[in-house]
Amino acid sequence: MSREEFAALANYRSDSCISIYIPTHRSGVEVNEKHDPIVFKNNLQQARVLLTTKGLDKASIEKILKPATDLLKDDVFWKNQLQGLAAFLSTDLSKIVKLPTPVKEELFINSSFLLTPLLPAIYKKHRFYLLVLSKHDARLYEGDQFEMRKLEVNGLPHGMAEVLHFKEKDHKEAHKRANIDGQRAIEGASFHGGGIALADEDEWLIQYFREIDQVLKSEVLHNQHIPLVLAAVDYEIGLYKQISSYRHIADAALVGNFEQEDKNNLYQKVREKLTPYFKEYTNKALKNYYENSATALTTSIPAEVIPACYYAQVSDLFVEKDARIWGTFNKQDNQIEIHEQQQEGDVCLVNDAIIETLANGGEVHIMEKEKMPSDSTLAAFLRFSL
C-alpha cells in the first residue's frame, strides 16, 4: 500500500466506517478447510449486529457489506492469501488489502477507519538479494522484510558443468581452426580426462564463480548498493567473497547445502538473519531519542505526544504494537480528553496520532511493549520543543 492510498483512507469520514482485520494463511489445512473465509464471514455477521444497534436499516447495512460478502464466493482469492487481510467498508467506499505481515483479528466501527495495523505495509522496504550457490546450480532472489521472489537472470550459469561444457567447446573449436591449413585433423584425438585437459576442481569452481559474478554485475548488480546474502557451504562462501567484485556482500550468510530448499523456507531463514538490518532504521531513531532524552525534544506523555502529532512537531513517533488510547482531541482549542475505557464518541487517539504524523512527514515505528522507550504506550522525538 502506498502512502497516498493510506492517506485516502485516513482522510475518509463517515458515520459507519468498518475496519476488519483477520490473520490469513498461504497454505496448509487452514486453506483446505476454508478457515479464513469462515473467520471473515463471522466478522461480517458481527458487523451487521453492531450496525443494527447503531440504528442502520437492513438495506443500508447490506449495501455497505455487499463488496465483502461477494468476496466470500471467490475461491481463487481465498487460496491466494498472504499473512493478513484488511477490509475497509463504508457507504460509498470499499477496499480490501492483502497484508504481508500477520495481524490479530479485530473489528472496529467508528467515524474513521482503524489504520494502525496497516503500518507495516507502508514501511520503507529494506531490499536485499539472496544468491544460492552450489557446484550444481545458482539462483538469485530479491526480497524485503515482507516477501521474496526468484529472479530470472539472463546468462546466469546453472552449475559448474555448464561453464565447463562451454570451455570444452571453445577448446575444441580452437583446435579445429588451427588445423584448417592441412594439419592433422584432431576430431578423433583423445584428451586427458576424456575431453579437455582439466585443471583441478578448485580452478573450475573459481571460473564458475567468476562467471556468476560477471553475469550478476552486468545484468543486476551494476548500480545497486543493497546487501547480497550468500547461501552455500562455508568454503564456497569464502571463495565467492574473494573473487566477487560486488562491494555489498552481507556479513550474514546461510551456511549449508540449499540446493533443494524451497523459496519459503529460504525466505524464513534469510529473514531471520537480516532482522538487525530490517530494524536498523528504528534502532537509529531510538538511539537519537535516548541521546536526547534529557532535553525538551523528547516526550513519552500521551497527552503531550498526541497534540504534537497534529501540529507537525513529531519527527519520529514510537507506538506500542496493538495499543489503543480512547478519547477525543480538539485541534482548534488544543483540548484533549483521555478515557480509560471507550466511551460514546471516542476515537482511537493512537490511530489518529499515527495518521497525523505520517501526513506531516514524520516516521512511525511500531514496537513491542518491552522495546518501547520510557515504558510508555506512545513516545516521540520532536522537530522542535514543546
Same domain (yes/no): 71, 135 = no
Among 122, 137, 157, identify where a domain stops. Answer: 122
CB 289 within 8 Å of CB 298: yes
Question: 101-105, long-range: CB within 8 Å, 24+ apart, which pairs?
Answer: 101/146, 102/23, 103/21, 103/22, 103/23, 104/21, 104/23, 104/322, 105/21, 105/22, 105/23, 105/39, 105/43
What is the DSSP annotation of 231-258?
EE-HHHHHHHHHH---TTB-S--EES--
Q: Model pTM?
A: 0.69
Please say whether the beta carbons of 131 and 144 come within 8 A: no
CA distance 310 to 331: 7
Opening angle at CA 181, ends 176 and 182, nearest 5: 90
Query: Are residues 106 and 240 in contact, defined by beta-carbon separation less than 8 angstroms?
Result: no
Q: What is the CATH number of the domain that holds 287?
A: 3.30.1330.30
Of the three residues 96, 122, 148, the one that is the final residue of a domain is: 122
pLDDT for residue 183: 41
> Are 196 and 291 members of one domain?
no
Which helix (H) or strand (E) element contains residue 102? none
Q: Which three cell numbers mark 75?
A: 475461491
Same-domain pairing of 300 and 323: yes
Number of domains in the chain: 3
Q: How far apart are CA 67 and CA 87, in angstroms?
A: 10
Looking at the fold, whether 244 and 303 belong to one and the same domain comes out as no
By CB neighbour count within 10 A (0-12 exposed, 13-18 middle, 19+ buried), where does 203 fall? exposed
Q: What pLDDT is stored for residue 192 in this prediction?
A: 35
Average pLDDT of adjacent 10-residue blocks, the chain of 386 residues: 84 94 93 95 97 94 97 95 95 93 92 89 81 94 89 92 60 42 38 42 88 96 93 96 95 94 92 88 92 95 96 96 93 94 91 91 91 93 87
The number of helices, as runs of H, and strands, as runs of E, in the chain is: 14, 16
pLDDT value of residue 124: 65
Q: What's the confidence (pLDDT) of residue 386?
A: 67
Note the pLDDT of residue 354.
93
CA distance 220 to 110: 47
Contacts of 316 (CB under 8 A, 6+ apart): 285, 288, 289, 362, 363, 364, 365, 380, 381
Domain that holds residue 303: 281-386
d(CA 117, CA 266): 26
Whether residues 45 and 25 fall in one domain: yes
Same domain (yes/no): 197, 224: yes
User: Would you tell me how many other CB atoms lie within 10 Å of the CB of residue 330?
Assistant: 11
What is the pLDDT, as a whole number, of residue 145?
82
- Cell 562467471 found at: 211
- The enclosing domain of 93 has a CATH number of 3.30.960.10
The pLDDT score that the predictor gives to residue 167 is: 52
Domain end marker among 122, 137, 156: 122
Predicted local distance difference test score (pLDDT) of residue 177: 41
257 shares a domain with 134? yes
CA distance 168 to 170: 5
